Amino acid sequence: MAKSKKKSNQTKKDEQFLGDDPFEDIDLHWVHQEEGEPRIEVLGQDPFAEMDVEWVFDETGSSLETLDEETDPTLEQEAPVAPDDWSLGEGEVPELGQVVVERLPLDRGISPAEKTEDRSILEPALTIEAPPLPRREEIATLAMVDEDEERPRPSAVFHFPDDFKWGVATAAHQVEGDNIHNDWWRWEQANGHVEKGHVSGQACDWWENAEADFDRAAAMGLNAMRLSVEWSRIEPQPGVFDESALTRYAEMLQGLRARGIEPMVTLHHFTNPLWMIERGGWEMPEAIDLFTRYVRRTVGALGQYCDMWCTINEPNVYGYMGYLEGAFPPGKADLGVGFRVIRHLLRAHAAAYREIHAIQPDAKVGLAHNMRPFDPFNPRSPLDHLVTGLTDRVYNQAILTALTKGLWMLPLGFGLAWRLRKTLDWIGLNYYTRDLIAFDHSQSQALFCHRRHADSAEMLDGEYGEFYPEGLFRCLQRLSRLGLPIYVTENGLPDDDDDQRPRYLLTHLHQMWHAIQLCYPVMGYYHWTLVDNFEWAEGWTLRFGLIELDPATQARTPRRSARLYAETVGANAIRPDVIDAYAPELRSVLLPG
């Protein structure tokens, strides 16, 4: 744009105030071009040369090659609006759905003159020049996509870390069979304690033939297994240790190692020797020393085959089910005694932690903590909010605070718990479902808490709880604040006909994948469980196994979800073809688009 040489006094006055013209050296010639085209100046090889863009055009087969004005005669004449001809004649106004494009061959090079004239071009970068301002008659809407046209299906693969642990979890009493020296065996024999009068009996026959199921786990591609050892087998009488039992456990751990499966050993999973219960069980402080003695002997014998130790499984569940609901032995309903039992279990964990590290300095020692998200049944009720917070404090938070900060939280305890502080190398999460909490003045023994579920919730078999995969992410998010490695040490559902498990697996694994993407330190996943087993007070009525078991014949039949899990483990990822094959209804949830 030419500048006027003659300036008025007012103009000179303005320039003195404003200084130099800020636009004096800027090339704005493109603003005033009456004709022009958007251009992609390519320096060197055309980056789009190998790109398949056939989908841009319709069925007529137009391609990028027709964009050259010299080879496309249709550019010089009017034509009906169509995807392969988006030009306008002079003076025409575009119709709805028509797009106006001025075309330039993509393979045209840049002349030296152009490089000199346009200082915005920098080598060797790809430069997109600003398009000319459109004339009013050239403004048009984007072409509308035909609703009947089939769109590409969204696809994504949700990868897990290369060193991720894929496993299953079990417990000794539930799978070994004939554990006749512990409190659960005695409990089963009394009428009314177990659903339908079921007993564990032979269970899954692991004491005689665990290796057959180890082979099945290895065939699924698993690289980890969580299992427990039975205190009453190892120490059937106080201070008397059964070397043959320790030898058998050593064989089992060696068998896992030989199959490429890393064992995680739980030292206490709900059961206790009868002689220990007759002395008062976990209600007495002496239980801590008795447990430490057993741990010392067991880790000393098995430490060469295992360095991943879980001291105690779910101390909150043990206290709640045995001393509040009374569904587990000893079948009491005394909240105060229940809190004392949980405190003793945590002190036993801390003592075991130090004992294990004295024997195995490099051991990794943790605890499996059951967590359930609690939400108020009525979000507008202050009382529901109050009891929800109290329930969460007692069930979820108090144990974590004691083990990480060395402080007791009311009502679990009061004061310092300094010996418990920093006694976790990792934390285990057992997650199954969530609860909605309503205030109930008649439930003083349960801290005025009444557990419910959403009216619209999908329920798991046996009214086990809500199908709520988001809860796994919520718990992982909460545990991530501890700054410790996290293992999902249990996650699963009862599902005899396997109609929910594929969806449950995929949605929960996806929630775990999401947590990993946010850098939450989730190191492994242990599905509960490999084979249907004796499910405590529910007996054989709840079937958690990836593999179906007939307890009478010991016949095993893999469920469809076993193949799903194996394919996910083999790929170390959730793949879209697996989603389509096992739970196609989840495509719109996991792969929206």
Residue 55 has pLDDT above 50, yes or no: no
> What pLDDT sits at residue 150?
62
Residue 8 has pLDDT above 70, yes or no: no
Residue 363 has pLDDT above 80, yes or no: yes
Which tokens sit at 254? Answer: 């060696």
Q: Strand 127-128 vs strand 40-41: parallel, antiparallel, or unpaired?
A: antiparallel
Q: What gap in Å lies between CA 540 and CA 198, rounded to an integer?
A: 7
Closest by CA position to 102, among listed 77, 67, 133: 67
Closest by CA position to 331, among listed 145, 446, 187: 187
In which residue ranges of the chain is CATH 3.20.20.80 found?
158-590
DSSP H or E stretch at residue 566:
helix 560-571
Residue 135 has pLDDT above 70, yes or no: no
Q: What gap in Å lies between CA 320 and CA 195, rounded to an integer?
A: 19
> What pLDDT sits at residue 1?
46
Residue 128 has pLDDT above 80, yes or no: no
**What would the mean pLDDT of 520-544 be, rounded to a whole number?**
98
Work out the mean pLDDT of the chain and round it to a whole number.
Answer: 83
Give the residue with greater pLDDT, 52 vs 372.
Answer: 372
**What would the mean pLDDT of 173-194 be, rounded to a whole number?**
97
Give φ, ψ of 508 to 5 degrees.
-75, -40
Give the residue with greater pLDDT, 116 vs 350.
Answer: 350
Residue 109 has pLDDT above 90, yes or no: no
Rounded to the nearest 10°, the torsion over CA 331, 333, 336, 339 is 50
CATH number of this structure's domain 158-590, picked from the four choices 1.20.1250.20, 3.20.20.80, 1.10.1040.10, 3.40.50.2300: 3.20.20.80
**What would the mean pLDDT of 61-83 be, rounded to a whole number?**
41
pLDDT tens-digit map of 271-311? 999 999 999 999 999 999 999 999 999 999 999 999 999 99
CA 565 to chain centre: 14
Give me the amino acid identity at 46: D
**What would the mean pLDDT of 563-577 be, rounded to a whole number?**
98
Identify the band that residue 152 occupies on the pLDDT scale cut at 50, 70 and 90.
confident
| Range in 119-123, 204-208, 224-228 with the lowest mean pLDDT | 119-123
Contacts of 100 (CB under 8 A, 6+ apart): 86, 87, 88, 94, 134, 138, 140
> What pLDDT sits at residue 27?
52
pLDDT tens-digit map of 240-263? 999 999 999 999 999 999 999 999
Residue 72 has pLDDT above 90, yes or no: no
Residue 444 has pLDDT above 70, yes or no: yes
Q: What gap in Å lies between CA 548 and CA 540, rounded to an integer?
A: 11
